[in-house]
Amino acid sequence: KQRNMHQPSSLKEDRLLFPVTGYGLNDCRDEYSNPRPSPVAGGWIGADQEEEALRRKLKYFFMSPCEKYQAKGRKPFKLVLQILKILIVTIQLVLFGLSNEMAVTFKEENTASFKHLFLKDYDDSNDALAVYTQGDVYDHMFYTIEQYLALPEKTVGRYAYVYNVGVNGSALSLCQQYYKKGRIDPANDTFNIDPHVVTNCIGVNPLSAPTPGLGLDYRNFTLKFHKLINVTIQFQLKAINLQTIIHNEIPDCYTFFITILLDNKAHSGKVKISLDNQASIKECKDPSVSGHADSYARVWFDGAVLLVCAFSLLLCGRSIIKGIILQNEFVKYFKTSLKRDVCWGDRMEFINGWYILLIISDVLTITGSFIKIGIELKNLSSYDECGILLGTSTLLVWVGVIRYLTFFQKYNILIVTLRAAFPNVIRFCCCVAVIYLGYCFCGWIVLGPYHVKFRSLSLVSECLFSLINGDDMFVTFSGMQESSMLVWVFSQVYLYTFISLFIYMVLSLFIALITGAYETIKHQTQEPVHITDLHAFIAECTDTASSGKFRGIETSPFFCNFSLIAPQCLYS
């Protein structure tokens, strides 16, 4: 008789609850492989009390938390813990987000202020500030220094100079870099360049702290335009971010490292001017806020998050280890009693991928929480690193909620469909990536000099991906310069072929792969069910969760002695 003639009807109704293993593979359920014992009662040779106990262990291991509660009265500790972790991790992320937003906003607003203060004729609408004459270069250079010297009288904000950080113990460094030897003669098409770079610097101090040899000497600073590479003006300023008081946080002290660059490396007659601002955050000395006492509530809360995540990490790791131990017990029984090997698909069902996801999330949260505590105590200023860790961990925590939805057949369709379509989608994406990269390199090389969206590989990739989604099509076409008719014609062919290929063919085929997998899963009820050896072995156990026969299950001595939940031996 065929195997599917005698399988329990519950398997037909609830088989979406089982993981879809080995999509497209037949190593576990090939109808034409070696004959296998029938899963009907008595089909497994040598069934005894030990075999029945193993079946109950396996059935209990793959139960949902609700079924485990019915089977042994075991409380769903991990479920409650994950719900608690979702709440506190999300709260932690929101609190950090507010603090990070204030820090980033403070830096960006100060950067905008510095550009208006130190860059002559700066316009917000056009960041590409440039000058074209030697006089303008000197004017912008001297303007920056004079604005710096008069900063206390000019600025609305409260800034302080930082001394002894520049050349010769000065507060500001004015430097020029040029080639050691340079002679260019376009008339005769000749040049003589020594590529070694020479740096020449002078220091400038504010008038409040005069230093011999430093002061108005910067006006005697002569630039060697015929071999000039760039001019840099570097200095530091201190400020305090007072807006954090609104969120009951002690204000931070900032040190801004400002670099103004006049770039002439192209020697094209255009000197580009830019300002770069880097910030360092540290704890202020003797902070005092009237009516506000030192509060370490956030640090204590971060400590609580650490404890919960550490506990979750131990429980998930414990469950994975128990699954491996039970897998070895099942493999050993098959090999010794039935003289058969267990296929790889059945072995992998004992390794719960959701637990691995939660372990990764816990590790990221623990690491991010330590960094956040360092930020709260003003020992660290790694806002970006902390944000990436906490943001990714929160994403994984919320994705992990799907595991509990998969216990219900109506909500399981998304995971089952993605799991079934994943292998074919990966193969399809590999083929598409080759074509996509070809278009990226071609667009960068040919269209880069003529189109602002193709100036770098990253910009090309962003532009083409936007075109796949139907964004900025007209802007991309109209932005092409017509200085070269041949390149313009090529750009039209390039864009039309890319859009036609990826939107009408590639994207449609990609959607068809997902739809095909969904249709396959949806129509499984109309096809014969091919269950694996593991599920067939478990199906022999007809005991229900509420039968009471699972309460006497014994576990391995390791977990009886070192249970993390309760003194009794528990399976999860």
What digits encode the pLDDT tens for the residues 390-411? 999 999 999 888 877 777 767 7
DSSP single-letter state for residue 211: B
What distance in Å separates the CA atoms of residue 156 and residue 240, rounded to the nearest whole number? 14
Map residue 266 onto helix, strand or coil.
coil
CB-based contact 7:39 (threshold 8 Å) = yes
What distance in Å separates the CA atoms of residue 92 and residue 410, rounded to the nearest whole number? 32
CB-based contact 89:305 (threshold 8 Å) = yes
The alpha helices in 448-506, defined as continuous H runs, are: 457-468, 473-478, 485-499
> Which residues have C-beta within 8 Å of that of residue 544, sequence separation ≥ 6?
none
In the block, residue with structure tokens 């039968």: 547
What distance in Å separates the CA atoms of residue 390 and residue 134, rounded to the nearest whole number? 50
Sites in the chain below the pLDDT cut of 50: 1-27, 29-47, 210-215, 555-572
End-to-end CA distance of the chain: 36
Amino acid 16 reads L
| pLDDT at position 242 | 84
What distance in Å separates the CA atoms of residue 360 and residue 393, rounded to the nearest whole number? 8
What distance in Å separates the CA atoms of residue 497 and residue 439, rounded to the nearest whole number? 10
Tell me the per-residue pLDDT of 4-60, one tens digit each, with 9 for 90 and over: 434 444 444 444 444 443 333 344 544 334 444 444 444 444 446 777 777 777 777
What distance in Å separates the CA atoms of residue 370 and residue 226, rounded to the nearest whole number? 53
Which value, in Å, is the radius of gyration of the alpha carbons in the chain? 34
What distance in Å separates the CA atoms of residue 7 and residue 15, rounded to the nearest whole number? 12
CB-based contact 327:369 (threshold 8 Å) = no
DSSP single-letter state for residue 480: S
Report which of 180, 176, 206, 362 is spatially closest to residue 271, judged by C-alpha positions: 176
| pLDDT at position 548 | 61
| pLDDT at position 86 | 92
> Which residues have C-beta within 8 Å of that of residue 103, sequence separation ≥ 6?
241, 252, 281, 383
Cα angle 493-499-500, degrees, rounded to a multiple of 5? 85
What distance in Å separates the CA atoms of residue 167 and residue 176, rounded to the nearest whole number? 13
CB-based contact 440:461 (threshold 8 Å) = yes
- Measured CA distances, 195 to 84, 179, 183, 512 (Å): 63, 6, 12, 58
| pLDDT at position 159 | 92
> Which residues have C-beta within 8 Å of that of residue 318, sequence separation ≥ 6?
559, 564, 572
Report which of 62, 38, 42 is spatially closest to residue 52, judged by C-alpha positions: 42
| pLDDT at position 208 | 56
What distance in Å separates the CA atoms of residue 401 and residue 354, rounded to the nearest whole number? 9
| pLDDT at position 290 | 60
What distance in Å separates the CA atoms of residue 41 and residue 18, rounded to the nearest whole number? 22
Query: What six digits make up the tokens of 327?
Result: 């897998």
Report which of 304, 293, 284 is spatially closest to residue 372, judged by C-alpha positions: 304
Phi (first) and psi of residue 510, to 5 degrees: -60, -45
| pLDDT at position 432 | 94
